[in-house]
Each structure stands twice: as C-alpha cells, then as structure tokens.
Chains A and B, each alone.
Chain A
Amino acid sequence: MSDSQAPLETLPRSLKILLGAGLLALAAFPFVGTDYYVQMVTRMMILAIFAMSLDLLQGVTGLVSLGHAAYFGVAGYVLAFLTPPGEPVSLWWTLPAAVGASALLALVIGFLVVRTHGIYFIMVTMAFAQMVFYVFFDNKALGGSDGIYINFKPEAILFDLENKKVFYFFTLALMVLVYGFLRRLLWSPFGRALAGIRVNEHRMRALGYGTFSHKLAAFSLAGALAGLAGFLWGAQSGYVNPELMGFHMSAHVIMMVILGGMGNFAGAIVGAFSFEYLLHVFKDLPAVGSFNLGKHWQLWMGLFIVALVILAPRGILGLFDSLLKGKAQHHD
C-alpha cells in the first residue's frame, strides 16, 4: 500500500480471464451448493460491494477511513425502521431511501472530516463512526445494544427475494453492476482526478482542481455504495445491530481491500471472498490434543494479517502480478 507502488489499475489479461471464470463459477454455484453455503456466498458478495466502496476511497483517492462501517450499518438500520414487524416493505423505494441516507450521512461527516489530512483523517473517521455507533447503542428507541430484527425481506413483486437463490442472483447482479460502474468511473475524468489526488494532492491543487470537493464527492459516493451493501446485509440476515457500524467492521473491510489488492475493484472482490473464506477456515479448525485451534481463530487471523503486511503489501492480485512479471523476466 506504499504510495510509491502503483496499484493494479490495468488488469493483465490472464487476471481478467481468471476473474471471468470466477464469475461463471459464481453464477453456477446456487445449483450445486446447499442453502447454508448459498447464503454464505451471498454474504461474501455483499461484503464485496462494501469492499469496492472502500476501494474507491482508499485505493483510488488514497483516503484511509477507519470509520467506513458507519455508512454500511446506517442503511441496514433504515431498512429495519421502514419494515413493519408484520409485513414486508417494497424494495423499490426502501433501497434508494437507505442508500440516500448513507450518502447524506457521508456527506455531512465528510464535510467535517475531509478537511483533515494524514493521521488525523484516519483517527477522525474512526471517532465519527464510533459516534454513530453510540447513537444507536445507547438509545432503546433506536434498538439499543440488542439491535432490531427485520422479519420480512423487502418485496420486489417482479421476483421473490425470500427465495434464497433469487436473492443470490439479485446480489450477484448488483455486485457486477457496481463493479462495472466503478471501473468506468476509474477511467473517467473524475476518476483520474481522484487518482491524481492520491499521488500528489498539492500538485492537483496547483493545477486548479478543487480537491476538497473532489474528495468530498468520493467520500459521499463511497458512503452511498457502502449503504447499498448495508441494505442487502440487513435484508439477507434479517437483523441489524450497532456492531455493523463498529470499529471491527471498519477494520475488516480495510483488510479485505488490502488483502485483494487496492485500486482496481477486482481486488476488493477477491479480498472480500478470501477474507471471509479464511475466517470460515480458521474458525473451523479442529482441536489438536487439548488445544482447540478453532477457538483461537483470532490468533491465526492476526498472524496472517501481520504476515500480509510484511510479505505481500500489494495483496493477492499484486502477488499474481509479481508472479507473472517474475516469470516473464525469467523466460526472457
């Protein structure tokens, strides 16, 4: 994640082929997997959307936010408040409402926060997310520490979201859409400006760009997309609680983005899937003698993260890229 190394903005062809294969596998999965695993993969896709939203902020614009989960959680809560206990609510207006709420929150907080730089930005984003966390945690009216249940998935009329396979494909479609949108954005003038800000903000300002407004726009857009993921999460799990906006959630999504490789959105998807899968593997480790390896999954996760930072700072896709380049030099 050092600024000196350019992120993988252009994906080499081999990686593109791999990703395409991955997409096909995803499309086929619900027909071979059980309900439990279909739900798990749906969850991974929702987190992939969340990770992509952070990638826009972190990988492209270079703003490290330790409080991105606030916008994720708020959207889930909006769905919870809008869904009555006895019946479902329509997808078609609650989805935009939730995304809009997250965008608005991101705009307000962004306005206060984007004026800070470097370490201040990191800490201040974390602190504001904590504030949002406490607003929900401390108030029974907002559900308090026990959270709120969403008893019915939103109604889409054209298709039935209560059906797990339908929900899966709905999420898959949204994930692909978000990916396409963000890749177009990356190469648009706005996206290029954001990348320029990441590399050298002073120079961009000297060139006449309004960096504050650009950063604020990126912050709000990232918040809105995080809200999309949060809405889906609330709809799928049927439950929201303040932890969704907590510090751990924000830190996890940062790790997903870094694990995959920043700045190209495909890495965010790969990172989300790998991170969730790793968590699953670590938690299910068997006991060796009397030492339960699975119980201490946090230790393996922590060591893995430390190793990642030291050995593979450009993430999984970065590793692939180095492997390919390395092989090339070898053969030439």
Chain B
Amino acid sequence: MTTSTSRRLVLTRSAALVGAASSSLLLTEFAQAQSSKIRVGLMLPYSGAFAPLGVAIENGVRMAINEQGGKLGGREIEWFKVDDESDPSKGIENANKLVQRDKVDVLIGTVHSGVQMGIQKVARDSGVLSLIPNAGVHAATRSLCAPNVFRTSFSNSQPTLALGQAMVAKGHKKAVWITWKYAAGDEAFEGFKESYTKAGGTIVKELGLPFPNVEFQALLTEIAALKPDAVACFFAGPSGAKFMKDFAAAGLKGKIALYGSGFLTEGVLEAAGPAADGVMTTLHYSDSLETPRNKAFRLEYAKTFKMQPDVYAVQGYDTGLLLIQGANAVKGDLSKKPELYKAMEGAVIDSPRGKWTMSKSHNPVQDIYLRVAEKGENKVIGVASKALADSGAGCRMG
C-alpha cells in the first residue's frame, strides 16, 4: 500500500516533467521576437542519396548573396535549415516547420519532386514566397502554379523536349526509353515522347523500375532482345553512373547508342569512367560552357568551396540572384508582394548557363545544350533547343 508521501512525490515529480515538456513547446514561440532580419528558410536534402545536391544548392545560394554583400535589399539575413531527407511523406510537415514555426519570409527548396508537392501545398495555403532551386515537377508551374512560387531550374520535360530531334538527326529512329517510375521519370518521358515522335522517331518500348532501384540487369537483357537503334533514359545522381557502367558491361555500348536527359552525366563522369564516353545528353547547363560568365563562376565557386560546381550549384546560384533582384526592387520589404512578384517575373538572370527569363507560369525560358561525354567532361556540341519554355498548361495565372 502506498503511503500518501510517496504518492505525492511521484505525482509532483511527474507533473513537473509534463509541465517542463509542454512549456518547452510554448517557449520557443515566445523567443521569436520581432527582428529586422529577413528570414530565409532552406528546405533541402542534407542526408540520403541526394545530399550532395542539397549541399551544392545551398553553396550556390550563399555565394550569390555574398557576392552582393551578404544582405537582401539592405537587410541582414537569418538562415533556417530543414533536412527534408528526400522523404515525400514528411514534405508538408517539414515545410510547416519553416513556414509556421520559424515564420520564414522566403522558402528555398527542394530537390525531390515528391517532396516539392508538399512544399507547393504549404506555399499555396500560406502565401509564403517559394523559390524552387531544382525539383522539376510539372504541377508547380502548371496546374498548381501560384503568384508566390518561382522556379529557377527546369521543368522535368524541358531537357527531354530537346532530345528527340537530336536523336533523329543522328539517324536513330527506333528507341527504347527507360527510367524510374516516379513523377520526375514520367514527366521526363512526356517531353521525350512529344519531341521524339514529332521528329519522326518510334518508341519501341517504355521500361521502368521502381525508384531508387538500380538492379538494371533484367531490363538490360530485355533491351538487348529488342535491338533498338538507341536507348534514351532519365536517371539522376550516382545511379546514372551505374546505369552507364552496367550498359557497357552488358556489351550494349557501341552497338546501341545511349542518350539521356542531362542529369545522367551530371557530376558522375569520374565515377562512370570510360563507360560514359560517347553518351549524348541534353541539359540547360554544361560544365564546359566556354563563356566568360561560366568560367568566372566556376573559378570563384571552386575557390570558395574547394569543389567543382555542377548544374545544381548553378541553380542555387541563380535562385540567389533572383531573390536579390526581387529584394532590391522592394528595398528589403518582402511584404510588398505585388511589387516583389512583378520584379521577379520581369527579372533577367545573368546565369552561368546563359541569360534566361521567367515564363508566364514562373519557369525559366532557357537554351538547352546538346552535350557529349568525353574523358570526364560534358562537351557542348551545340544548342539543341533555343529559348525553350515549359508549356505551363493548366496554369491559371496571367
């Protein structure tokens, strides 16, 4: 039988514990005093397979802002970061951490298209300025477009829209398409299908494997049996290197031409080795772009971060440039939304990829380059498509 003293002791101690726990939940919100700093929230993958992309994007953003003195419209910046782990199931929750809990003025994110949909929902519900530095999911600048959402990267079908014509021009009229079965893969296929069939090509078969599976063996066997002129694909990250290596190991290299949306060869050429030589891709950027702007950017980035920049770093950099232009136009007062959006809509971004502008649905209108991988470099051999814009179909803005 418990005595009253011991019972009281347990009760009071546990009440104290519960009290401490709940007050810590409330205290954090009181601590957010009014400040004159602009709150910038970064929602990027800092862990998992896309971690290097997240780091490159953040590097790019910071470099652009530091080049202009480290302030936005004259105001100091307070940074907030959330690791989205490339997990779509936590997308909304993570976005809300920045928007509702940390009350950021601008949300920069993210890489994975599935996670982006979560950010899009929060952005549309809350009206926060949302800048997309990578995720190419169509809906963000099509059916779910919004005046406060801007993208500085690409839409998933843009690179492949430029691929079809290039392949047919080289005489490769029968192709097999292969990718992961998720939004980015499906949308990349959309662009490929449209451009390839329009140019006169035939898609022999469409192969898919679950994301992020890299067991290609069975499908490579299937490709060999189909004997197409070429294979076109979309893979991003180190899985691209693996695909090229497996393709070569299966003896297909040299017998069947390999093409891809440019992400296939971005940042992975060293890992892929000779298996990548001769692979042709289309992308809105290339390391080897011989323009003074790109050369200066690459030098500065390498000096600052002790690594080579890639397309993700460029996209982050351009996001910083866009934000600066907008903030300057409203002299740092991001609450002046109509003026802010107008400035961003009309911005001309002097990017390492070349100058580009915003489409009506807030996606870049940009040149897509045709590149061939050679000895660890993506050599630009031409412009596959000039000033290509995303259709923006279903966007009810402007």
Task: Name A residues whose Cβ lies closer than 8 Å to a Cβ of B.
Answer: 12, 14, 17-18, 21-22, 25, 29, 32-37, 39-40, 137-138, 140, 144-147, 149, 237-239, 241, 243-244, 277, 295, 320, 323-325, 327-328, 330-332
Contacts and interface: CB of A to CB of B under 8 A. Distances in A.
Given A14-B11, A137-B210, A328 B181 contact: no
B29 A145 contact: no
A137 B208 CA distance: 13
A328 B18 CA distance: 23
B11 A239 contact: no
28 contacts: A14-B2, A18-B11, A22-B18, A29-B22, A34-B26, A34-B100, A36-B101, A37-B29, A40-B25, A140-B186, A145-B181, A145-B210, A146-B113, A147-B117, A149-B121, A238-B92, A239-B117, A241-B89, A320-B14, A323-B10, A324-B7, A324-B10, A327-B7, A327-B9, A328-B2, A330-B6, A332-B1, A332-B3
Contacts of B6: 324, 327-328, 330-331
B204 interface: no
Interface in B177-192: 181-183, 186
Given A277-B21, A330-B6, 4 more contacts: A37-B26, A145-B182, A147-B89, A332-B3
Interface string B76-111: 000000010001110111001100110000000000
B114 A328 contact: no
Contacts of B14: 18, 320
A241 B3 contact: no
Contacts of B117: 146-147, 149, 239
A239 B92 contact: yes
Interface string B1-44: 11101110111001100100110011001000000000000000
Contacts of A37: 25-26, 29
B11 to A, nearest CB: 6
Contacts of A33: 25-26
B211 interface: yes
A328 B9 CA distance: 12
Interface string B46-59: 11000000000000
Nearest to A138: B210
A40 B92 CA distance: 12
A239 to B, nearest CB: 6
B22 A146 contact: no
Nearest to B102: A36
Contacts, number: 105
Interface string B191-214: 000000000000000000011000
B70 interface: no
Contacts of B100: 34-36, 39
A21 B100 CA distance: 28
A148 to B, nearest CB: 10
A34 to B, nearest CB: 5
Contacts of B113: 146
B1 A320 contact: no
A139 to B, nearest CB: 9
B237 interface: no
A12 B11 CA distance: 12
B274 interface: no
Contacts of A241: 88-89, 114
Contact of A34 (B1, B29, B88, B121): B29
Given A328-B3, A331-B5, A147 B88 contact: yes
A224 B307 CA distance: 54
A137 B101 CA distance: 31
B118 interface: yes
A144 B179 CA distance: 14
B181 A140 contact: yes
Given A239-B118, A239-B121, A241-B89, A144 B9 contact: no
B183 A239 contact: no
B26 A324 contact: no
B201 to A, nearest CB: 24
A302 B93 CA distance: 22
B11 A17 contact: yes
